[in-house]
Structure 1
């Protein structure tokens, strides 16, 4: 027998042995498993209530909806087999939604499974629900369950409107554990018209401390250099102008003087004029300058509003000011880190914004 035939025979033997070992270890086919595409977790009196969206094949998009309870998240998910007769399979999971009750008691109580369990994907998108996670996962549109791909796309909507952010499980955990920073999560609301991004939650450790409005979220994204595009409406003697923002650049700098840390947030953006009230086709040079001034003031107000609420009122460092000190002024940080959440409210903050209007579209 030639060498090629020996290799082919050996390969066939190995495949046969592998198939036999899989059968011996209780290997299940995909059709025998509960292919999970989305998981919602709500804290209840005796543990956790999970709501899962699943399918019978990888091509489906979560056409089934099941609920189960348990003293831990893993036990609740395992208990799904009591009503389905199938073993949960997590490698097809798109997203995880935590309910308000989880955020109030601390997400650390239900997060560990998604990071540690060997069969889960810690890079999946994660949301907080305004209300219960079960309401979001079980939402029906025109008598049918909302497709999981539609929920998944909501995390990318900020690329279009500039008022929403996306987050993965690892982003959240890193935000909690990173020196001198606080974590944030997008918040979903299930309403009469559908499921939508409602706000951005921010956390002290693993517990929710507050939430930014959509306009405050844009200010946060602009400061963190995460604002890609969006529409902004400004008013003045020119009437009302709708601007399409683009090419935004945000930067945060730190310095220390005799009175302590000073942080400077700089935001630059370009904008096209997409519409002007009255249907005007031309604007004067002075009106362009006024529009730029009003647009810069709008962005500045949104950045300041997000900063004042999250940092100065709720002591949450979502902008990563402390982390900036940790990296640039380690000696100062060693003495300030223990009381940073209280000290940062007294720091000085400067916000500088500018908007360049390029042209009147049309």
Structure 2
């Protein structure tokens, strides 16, 4: 009897699912149409993405299916009439919201995504710029047979190497929408080129007629989108949030031309000064290091004054980007997109509890930006090539 009882926990196949009975969903699109939802799912065709797929097959590597429903579960349930297999969301890579849906509010879609046990929370969320989410999931990828997987890796790599994009996971978005003094944000994605030519031959062209490109950042007040940040605005947001690992930039030379720099070891610290609600001030301290990667002007790179010039120019440019974004968002969006309110809550809790509306208070709070850059390396060439050529060196 004891042996039989011990065998019970070993019966681990009770909830098995065969691979030929599942449809793996890589991308999910959510659009709001009236009082209903329009759902689009990008399903992987395993026979076509396998390296052993039959030669000359004409089937697509992925299939995008669409359905309407009063709620998200209702719409997904209705998809069963279109696919012969059960939808499997454990490998979901991207969730795309249409812009109009994001402006109406994401409270209900986020509630469903956070409750569904089969979904992991490591997928990325983006907003389709001026389009429906279904339009994004219908696009072919010229670099990856699974477009949703291409979008995932493209955003992850861009977030690590370029300051103008930001990856956002479900947990991060939920925290940002529910926390006082913070604003949620998501990277925007748009179709570049002619979407009418996004057919099955687009991924076979050397120069595709259309492509998907990350562009700008959607800013939210609670769960409702209120506007966009451009490239510089997104950079400012990432500088302040201390979320930049490495990026590149350029500086204008004293005479003409430009010089390029690589920025790394970027760190941000926010200090809130003041003893009452009326005299609060935000101080943002940014420190970073840079390498000089390209010089297109006549500068003496062996002169210490030149290195100090590079430091001052980078300091001024980063400071200007952040200050302009602060001014623009105060004027146009009228909310705290940087989350300074959360820092007030942490550093001055007594003052915070006397503030009824932080976004209204923030409009009158001065923000001071302090930047300190240190140039580390100038590369393997000491002087600019143009300078050596002109002097016959």
Written as runs of structure 1 = structure 2, the 5 A alignment for 1:235-254 is 235-237=252-254, 239-254=257-272
Task: Report the alpha carbon displacement of residue 104 of structure 1 after superposing the two structures with TM.
Answer: 1.3
Q: Is the 8 A contact 1:256 1:262 kept in 2?
A: yes
Instruction: Please give the secondary structure, in 1, of the residue aligned with 2:354.
Output: helix
Relative to the length of structure 2, the TM-score reads 0.82
Written as runs of structure 1 = structure 2, the 5 A alignment for 1:1-362 is 19=13, 28-57=17-46, 60=49, 63-130=62-129, 131-141=131-141, 147-156=147-156, 157-192=158-193, 193-237=210-254, 239-257=257-275, 259-278=278-297, 282-336=301-355, 338-362=356-380
Q: Is the 8 A contact 2:285 2:369 kept in 1?
A: yes
CA–CA distance in structure 2, aligned partners of residues 70 and 307 of structure 1: 41
Name the count of aligned residue pairs.
350
Partner of 2:385: none
Task: Report the alpha carbon displacement of residue 158 of structure 1 after superposing the two structures with TM.
Answer: 1.9
CA–CA distance in structure 1, aligned partners of residues 46 and 102 of structure 2: 32
Q: Is the 8 A contact 1:154 1:196 kept in 2?
A: no
Task: Report the alpha carbon displacement of residue 305 of structure 1 after superposing the two structures with TM.
Answer: 2.2
Identify unmatched segments of 5+ residues in structure 2. Answer: 51-60, 194-209, 381-393
Q: Deviations over 1:252-303 (max 9, x none)?
A: 1102146421100111111111000058783532222222211111101111
CA–CA distance in structure 2, aligned partners of residues 144 and 242 of structure 1: 31
Q: Is the 8 A contact 1:129 1:136 kept in 2?
A: yes
Instruction: Please give the secondary structure, in 2, of the residue aligned with 1:155.
Output: helix
CA–CA distance in structure 2, aligned partners of residues 218 and 191 of structure 1: 21
Higher strand share: 1
Task: Report the alpha carbon displacement of residue 151 of structure 1 after superposing the two structures with TM.
Answer: 0.6
Q: Is the 8 A contact 2:105 2:224 kept in 1?
A: yes
Relative to the length of structure 1, the TM-score reads 0.88
CA–CA distance in structure 2, aligned partners of residues 59 and 246 of structure 1: 41
Instruction: Please give the secondary structure, in 1, of the residue aligned with 2:119.
Output: coil
Q: CA RMSD in A?
A: 2.7
Q: Is the 8 A contact 2:190 2:212 kept in 1?
A: yes
CA–CA distance in structure 2, aligned partners of residues 142 and 331 of structure 1: 55
Task: Report the alpha carbon displacement of residue 314 of structure 1 after superposing the two structures with TM.
Answer: 1.5
Cα distance change on mapping 1:58 and 1:291 into 2, 3 Å: farther
Q: Is the 8 A contact 1:229 1:247 kept in 2?
A: yes
Q: Deviations over 1:118-158 (max 9, x none)?
A: 22223421111112211221112459865322110133212
Identify unmatched segments of 5+ residues in structure 1. Answer: none
CA–CA distance in structure 2, aligned partners of residues 158 and 143 of structure 1: 19
CA–CA distance in structure 1, aligned partners of residues 270 and 172 of structure 2: 20
Cα distance change on mapping 1:59 and 1:125 into 2, 3 Å: farther
